[in-house]
Structure 1
Amino acid sequence: MDLSYFQKLSQAKILVVGDVMLDRYWHGDTGRISPEAPVPVVKVSKLEDKAGGAANVAKNIAYLDGQVSLLGIIGNDDNGSSLQALLKSEKINSQLISQDDAPTIAKMRVISRHQQVVRLDLEETFLEAHSELLLQKLTEIVDDFDVVLFSDYNKGSLAKISEMIQVAKAAGKTVLVDPKSKQLADYRGADFITPNLNEYTAAGGIKGDEQVLADCARKIIAECGIGAMLLTRSEQGMSLITPSEKHDFAAQVLEVSDVTGAGDTVIATLAVMLGTGMPAKQAVEVANVAAGLVVAKLGAATVSPEELSAKLTQYLRETGEQYQAPTQEILHHIELARQRGEKIVFTNGCFDILHAGHVRYLAQAKARGDKLVVGLNNDASISRLKGPERPINPLDERATVIGALASVDWVIPFGAVEENDTPAKLIEQVKPDVLVKGGDYKVEEIAGADFVLANGGTVEVLEFVNGCSTSNVIKKIQSN
């Protein structure tokens, strides 16, 4: 697999069209039963809003650094305003159309002790006139995108999806559909549809053995005029079925925590990778790995390019390739993690020859928070600090090894010019909650400590493992 496509993620221009929703969560503790009825009383302590439905698909694309716009219907109400604010915070270009005669679809959940107590759905099926508005808007803006993704939750926004697909294909766009209709002919002209097994069987698909499944799927896409079917099969992974081929992809997760939103992640990842120009089979392979990551998380989660590339590096270990995201993209994902309430830890070093002391030290640093950022001296910086014979290993190789560690979330090089041999300027960009340094330093001697402390963070000094050092490793090699 060619991981160079990961350098083109931000070039993918994708329009998501479909049923947008606001997912609202009330969190609280339960300590008694209501005197009014035999139901628990939940004392709400936290309110959380999330983008749902087609908006969650768009969010997944944004987290993968794709350029994404979202087209859908909302009500002229507070829930619609909340959803618009969420989209803005997630860097999603809103093309939502407000209407007075229909409310914003909202799913209200009460959560206590990690259990859902009740869900309240506020929704009305949209009218054909609402779908006509989306069709008109799509016609106006479709030329601005490479990929058009339809996210159908059967709420009425896509009543005119046949005409919408015709518009997108006439404009030369790649079209993906996450289907809900049992009549898959409604999606005639789509390049890819991504049903799960239940949706496949509801549309007349037969499971049977692998040959029966493949033959039936091919018959469906031929009769419905669809390019290919990506069938998601839960613990059996995925199957990409075209008129002439079937490619199976094994599930990439050992322990499932929550399958919520996994289908959104699959089609979002597929859209982004196709938007970079990646061939379909490879794009599905990446989407399958993304699904494995997201189902290991709780809730409608997302994956970042760094998570995905690190997992792919393990998955494709024999290729020796590792994607290094540009600094600005990493800083963006750090900020998103901060917005989710995650604690950011920063440390830095040369890490020229990785040894057990480094691995233990980085694991200890990660334990101080939720995400670990490693500032990595570049080659010129190491030569200035250690001498002209160093580094032993160049920056790309050091970043690959460090980035593959389970404790490390992001690697950012520094030291472009001589005055930047300390990570002080990088620390000001990262804004960590915890700054960690190894050795016998005093806090006031650590570069960037004053900035972190002034911003309410903490600084910790960890002891290095005795007997473990790069210099000792080099001396041992030279003595032999």
Structure 2
Amino acid sequence: MTSSHFNFQNKHILVVGDVMLDRYWHGGTSRISPEAPVQVVNVSAVEDRPGGAANVALGLAKLGIKVSLVGVVGRDENAATLEEVLVREGVECHFVESDSLPTITKLRVISRHQQLIRLDFEECEDSLSQNQAVADKVLSLLPDANAVIYSDYAKGCLADVKKLISMSNEAGVPSFVDPKGDDFSIYQGATLVKPNMVEFEAIVGKCTDLKEIEQKGLELRERFGWQSLLVTRGEDGLVLLEEGKNSFVLATAAKEVFDVTGAGDTVVAVLTAVYTTSKRFSDAVDYANQAAGYVVGKLGTASIDADTLEAIMFARSHSANFGVLSPEALQEQIKLAQLNGEKIVFTNGCFDILHPGHVAYMKQAKALGDRLVVAVNTDASVKRLKGEKRPVNDLTHRMAVLEGVGSIDWVTWFDEDTPLEIIQTLTPDVLVKGGDYTIESIVGSEHVLEHGGEVKVLSFVDGYSTTSIIEKANN
């Protein structure tokens, strides 16, 4: 991931915990069952995603980190499915197979983006042989790890977590815990423990204000010898209590909460990843907060890649109203501009090496309205379109250069192969494309026209192309 400010590629993180398979059945609902007063879902698609500790591992792999995952599964088809999905994403699986337990599976039935029901298939077991098998695998993997995450869902894999944390400490590997249950003494000596507000209050009692959270949190951290305690408070943000430092409080980065599934997994994955490079808990929590704000806007267990994470942080450091903005922040600014009677022009591309042809094209596009938006393909998207050797310049570099072009008001990004989703999100007044296109063939044209907008095709200035510049430089 060349765009990331942090060099994640050289890191190896071990994830240990309760793995599960999240299965989604998607389908339409148009009638009520004659057998009972319930909706009938005509299942048209089945989707399998890693859940629990497996989702934490997936989140790390998406960041470009080497990940090893230890968990307990059954000797069944769902275990094979889970491993197949994880291996495809680059996760090394070191599963303990149980003859007596099924692979934990959560089946969700979804219709029209609404979850109708969840069915859980699981049994828990705390056996000496299982605990020893988990410990053996952890012990063999610790020497090569920069950090270890213990993702506890109270399903049995971390029944002996106190011993595992002690092993981590002996190996000099920092441990990050996503806890569960009403006994936090089992996490004695961890580097950082990350309860949510419900879990925190189950241990310390009801907290009426931030001051009480800080006071009880400090006592808890000192009692169990943690370097840091991070309390995630949903819409109220996060509180970091670090040894020898003042409390660090952040407001939530979430703009719209669509689905909280996997948000905690994202927080622990991103903060551990960032900590392995910066060694600063405050940096790690800041990035984790932004990542969580992103994933809760997605349906189901979602992950964030290094491209998108770095772009969000880059946009946040810029002007609040113009320049580089996240798609969500830009949507708000466009609505305000349109209410003010301004016409929004939209174009998109890779813009790997900006040349005079691009600049002339931008001037033509800007002349069609009042504000020009340029949406840029992320690095991963460019690679899929142009090949492994592209882009030459990473996303933040490309956006920074575009931001300096006088005719451009806003720069944002998209990770999909086409800009359809971001066009639907922003709904510009004018959609512009350069090249030999018909209006009907331009991605997003139907949406813009349906909403009363225009679609324009502009000619590129002859004699300029990124490919020819790269070829010339290589000769």
Q: Is the structural similarity TM-score above 0.5?
A: yes
Deviations 1:280-339 (A, max 9, x none): 111111111111111222221111111111111122238xxx9xxxxxxxxxxxxxxxxx
Three-state SS of the structure 2 residue aligned to 1:199 is helix
Three-state SS of the structure 2 residue aligned to 1:276 is helix
1:45/1:282 CA distance change after superposition, 3 Å: same
State the one-letter code of the partner of 1:408.
W
CA contact (8 A) 1:11 1:276 kept: no
Deviations 1:380-436 (A, max 9, x none): xx9xxxxxxxxxxx99855424489554336xxxxxxxxxxxxxxxxxxx99899x9
Cα drift, residue 210 of structure 1: 2.4
State the one-letter code of the partner of 2:413.
V
Cα drift, residue 5 of structure 1: 7.1
Is 1:253 paired with 2:258? no
Cα drift, residue 6 of structure 1: 2.6
Report the Cα distance in structure 2 between the residues aligned to 1:27 and 1:350, rounded to whole angstroms. Answer: 42
Report the Cα distance in structure 2 between the residues aligned to 1:133 and 1:403, rounded to whole angstroms. Answer: 54
Report the Cα distance in structure 2 between the residues aligned to 1:87 and 1:396, rounded to whole angstroms. Answer: 29
Report the Cα distance in structure 2 between the residues aligned to 1:397 and 1:365, rounded to whole angstroms. Answer: 14
Report the Cα distance in structure 1 between the residues aligned to 2:3 and 2:281, rounded to whole angstroms. Answer: 15
Correspondent of 2:458 among 442, 459, 464: 464
Report the Cα distance in structure 2 between the residues aligned to 1:221 and 1:266, rounded to whole angstroms. Answer: 19
Report the Cα distance in structure 2 between the residues aligned to 1:363 and 1:46, rounded to whole angstroms. Answer: 38
CA contact (8 A) 2:177 2:194 kept: yes
Is 1:49 paired with 2:48? yes
Report the Cα distance in structure 1 between the residues aligned to 2:395 and 2:275, rounded to whole angstroms. Answer: 30
Report 1:74-473 matches (<5 A).
74-129=73-128, 130-244=130-244, 245-317=246-318, 347-348=350-351, 350-352=353-355, 355=362, 357=364, 373=382, 398-402=398-402, 407-409=412-414, 438-439=433-434, 441=436, 463-464=457-458
CA contact (8 A) 1:21 1:107 kept: yes
Report the Cα distance in structure 2 between the residues aligned to 1:396 and 1:86, rounded to whole angstroms. Answer: 30
Cα drift, residue 127 of structure 1: 2.2
1:183/1:348 CA distance change after superposition, 3 Å: same
Deviations 1:125-171 (A, max 9, x none): 12233222111211122111010100000101100000000001100
Three-state SS of the structure 2 residue aligned to 1:317 is coil
TM-score (norm 2): 0.73
CA contact (8 A) 1:192 1:226 kept: yes
Report the Cα distance in structure 2 between the residues aligned to 1:438 and 1:363, rounded to whole angstroms. Answer: 13
1:52/1:347 CA distance change after superposition, 3 Å: same
TM-score (norm 1): 0.72
Deviations 1:32-79 (A, max 9, x none): 222222222211111110000000011111111111111000000011
Three-state SS of the structure 1 residue aligned to 2:164 is helix
Cα drift, residue 465 of structure 1: 8.8
Task: Identify unmatched segments of 5+ residues in structure 2.
Answer: 325-347, 387-391, 405-409, 421-430, 439-454, 465-475
Cα drift, residue 253 of structure 1: 2.5
1:43/1:367 CA distance change after superposition, 3 Å: farther
Report the Cα distance in structure 2 between the residues aligned to 1:68 and 1:117, rounded to whole angstroms. Answer: 33
1:441/1:47 CA distance change after superposition, 3 Å: closer
CA contact (8 A) 1:23 1:108 kept: yes
1:198/1:403 CA distance change after superposition, 3 Å: farther
CA contact (8 A) 1:347 1:437 kept: no
CA contact (8 A) 1:205 1:217 kept: no
Cα drift, residue 346 of structure 1: 5.6
State the one-letter code of the partner of 2:231.
L
1:43/1:357 CA distance change after superposition, 3 Å: same
Report the Cα distance in structure 2 between the residues aligned to 1:277 and 1:349, rounded to whole angstroms. Answer: 29
State the one-letter code of the partner of 1:116.
Q
Report the Cα distance in structure 1 between the residues aligned to 2:400 and 2:103, rounded to whole angstroms. Answer: 45
Three-state SS of the structure 2 residue aligned to 1:96 is strand
Report the Cα distance in structure 2 between the residues aligned to 1:348 and 1:247, rounded to whole angstroms. Answer: 38
Report the Cα distance in structure 2 between the residues aligned to 1:317 and 1:182, rounded to whole angstroms. Answer: 43
Q: Larger deviation: 203-212 or 23-32?
A: 203-212
CA contact (8 A) 2:262 2:302 kept: yes
1:356/1:187 CA distance change after superposition, 3 Å: farther
Cα drift, residue 441 of structure 1: 4.1
Three-state SS of the structure 1 residue aligned to 2:303 is coil
Residue 425 of structure 1: aligned partner? none
Three-state SS of the structure 2 residue aligned to 1:42 is strand
Report the Cα distance in structure 2 between the residues aligned to 1:233 and 1:120, rounded to whole angstroms. Answer: 27
Report the Cα distance in structure 2 between the residues aligned to 1:399 and 1:116, rounded to whole angstroms. Answer: 37
Q: Larger deviation: 110-119 or 215-224?
A: 110-119
Report the Cα distance in structure 2 between the residues aligned to 1:168 and 1:357, rounded to whole angstroms. Answer: 60
CA contact (8 A) 1:190 1:226 kept: yes
Q: Larger deviation: 292-301 or 169-178?
A: 292-301
Counting matched residue pairs gives 388
State the one-letter code of the partner of 2:265.
D
1:98/1:363 CA distance change after superposition, 3 Å: farther
State the one-letter code of the partner of 1:243.
E
* RMSD over aligned Cα atoms: 3.8
CA contact (8 A) 1:177 1:190 kept: yes
Cα drift, residue 84 of structure 1: 0.8
Residue 417 of structure 1: aligned partner? none
State the one-letter code of the partner of 2:142.
V
Cα drift, residue 464 of structure 1: 2.9
Task: Identify unmatched segments of 5+ residues in structure 1.
Answer: 323-344, 377-381, 383-393, 411-429, 444-460, 471-480
Three-state SS of the structure 1 residue aligned to 2:311 is helix
Report the Cα distance in structure 2 between the residues aligned to 1:17 and 1:82, rounded to whole angstroms. Answer: 19
Cα drift, residue 258 of structure 1: 1.8
Cα drift, residue 207 of structure 1: 1.8
1:356/1:101 CA distance change after superposition, 3 Å: farther
Report the Cα distance in structure 2 between the residues aligned to 1:132 and 1:346, rounded to whole angstroms. Answer: 53
Report the Cα distance in structure 2 between the residues aligned to 1:397 and 1:13, rounded to whole angstroms. Answer: 27
Cα drift, residue 252 of structure 1: 1.5
Residue 449 of structure 2: aligned partner? none
1:399/1:106 CA distance change after superposition, 3 Å: same
Three-state SS of the structure 1 residue aligned to 2:117 is strand
Cα drift, residue 92 of structure 1: 0.6
